[in-house]
A and B are shown apart, each in its own frame.
Chain A
Amino acid sequence: MSGQYHRSHSRAWFMERPAYIRFMIRELTSFFMAAYLIVLIITLAKVGAGEAAAAEWLQALSGTGWKVAHAVALAAAVWHTITFFAAVPQAMPIYIGEDRLPAPIAKIVMGYGPWLTVTAVILWGVLR
């Protein structure tokens, strides 16, 4: 026997540090995004099935429960996006000669800039 003492780990390890809780929330957002994608796929299938089926499905989605579910999915997607962009400067550093692009600028160049541009183009296409 080595005489070493081995400390055990709690099942609720993710409650031990605020950063672990934030990590679990980030991971949990994936569930809501996956659930939303399933709803989106069903919606596309209904649209493909014809106008009547699509109208019936959209009528069902107009209920309060579905609106709340969509709001939760949107919040989860936005939070996931923010955490993703926060990781971009670490995961994909850009060097200009010897200098690394500062994180706030990298987030704009590789994250928020393209995101907002694509969002604006889609909104323009939908609303015009």
Chain B
Amino acid sequence: MPDNETITLELFRYHPETDSEPRFQSYDVPYDEDWVVLDAINWIKDYVDGSVTHRWSCRMGVCGSCGMMVNGEPKLTCAAFLKNYYPFPIKVEPLVNFPVERDLVVDMEGFMDKLQDVKPYIIRDDVNDTSGGEYRQSPAELAQYKQYSMCINCMLCYSACPVVGHEDEFLGPAALALGHRYNKDSRDQGQSERLEVMLSSEAMWGCTFVGECSVVCPKHVDPAGAIQQAKAMGAQEYFKRFVMPKGAGV
């Protein structure tokens, strides 16, 4: 490991009260091969420029707070090691396809609304009836959706998706994968209700299967796969409604 070496971070800066346009500001940071980009940004904030604004929490790839563009790629900065970029400068920007609030912080409100749109909870007809005990599930039934339940809402997939960038109303990878997660849950009875939202043109049919959402996902959720499976499920629902216009269910 080189001693007293530094690495340059070029941070996207935007303070709405003073800036009409964003700018980049360079900082030389001590190089430590054990450091990740988040460590470097925290060092800048602690020792050089306290006005740098960014989100972070767990530092271990669980909370999903520290997603940013690192040299143009959506990454969790807590998992992006400096040694993978050294000795070249690292450009850090807020996640693309989101409005920028301040510096490296984006507005998550639209994303959170989209998550709610897919009804991300178990829907039961007998929700108040507990006489039968818990809703049991076999390991094989769990395997059907477990992968899609691992999402940490880091929004990297929204930054990797060109459809999200061009269609504001598109529900996007994480929300659609979340909807599919509940549709595949053997305890759920709300597939028809959920597919009402997911079958719209702004939902799964907007996906062109670029596939980058799955490539950048730090938890291997594979939203692209979930959406293609949801399309097949949606097509079945469509034909059921065509054949049985009244009372069709999945």
- Say which residue of A13, A17, A100 sits within 8 Å of B212 (CB atoms): A17
| Nearest-neighbor residue (CB-CB) of B16 within chain A | A3
User: Can you list, as one digit per residue, whether each of B63-76 has a CB less than 8 Å from chain A (1) or not (0)?
Assistant: 00000000010000
- Of residues 15 through 39 on chain A, the ones whose CB sits less than 8 Å from some CB of chain B are 16-17, 19-20, 23, 27
Within the complex, what minimum Cβ distance (angstroms) separates B229 from chain A?
6
Q: Is B246 an interface residue (CB 8 A)?
A: no
Segment 80-101 of A: residues with Cβ below 8 Å from B: 87, 89-93, 95, 97-100
List of 3 A-B pairs having minimum Cβ-Cβ separation, nearest first: A3-B16, A90-B225, A91-B228
Task: Tell me whether B144 is interfacial, beta carbon within 8 Å.
Answer: yes
- Counting contact residues on chain A (CB < 8 A from B), the size range is 20 to 34
Decide: B222 and A19 in contact? CB cutoff 8 A: no
| Whole-angstrom CA separation of A17 from B162 in the bound complex | 10
A4 touches B16 (CB 8 A): yes
Chosen A-B contacts, 14 in total, with CB atoms closer than 8 Å, are: A3-B17, A4-B99, A5-B14, A6-B100, A7-B100, A13-B165, A14-B162, A19-B210, A23-B211, A89-B225, A91-B231, A92-B232, A97-B140, A100-B143
A-B contact number at CB 8 A: 70
Judging by beta carbons under 8 Å apart, are B214 and A90 in contact? yes
Q: How far is the CA of A2 from the CA of B101 in the complex (A)?
A: 9
On chain A, the residues within 8 Å of B101 by CB distance are 3-4
**Interface flag for B22 (CB, 8 Å):** yes
- CB <8 Å contact, A4 and B162: no
Quick one: given A4-B101, A19-B212, are A90 and B162 in contact (CB under 8 Å)? no
- Give the chain A neighbours of B144 by CB distance below 8 A: 95
Residues of A within 8 A of B (CB): 2-7, 9, 13-14, 16-17, 19-20, 23, 27, 87, 89-93, 95, 97-100
Residue numbers in A under 8 Å from B140 (CB-CB): 95, 97-98
Pick from B99, B209, B212, B232: contact of A6, CB under 8 Å: B99
User: A93 — which chain B residues lie within 8 A by C-beta?
Assistant: 225, 229
Bound: A30/B41 CA distance, A: 45
Q: From A9, which residue of chain B is reached at the shortest CB distance?
A: B165
Write the B230-247 contact mask toward A (1 if CB under 8 angstroms, else 0).
011000000000000000
* Nearest neighbor of A97 in chain B, beta-carbon distance: B140
Interface contact A5-B22, CB-CB below 8 Å: yes
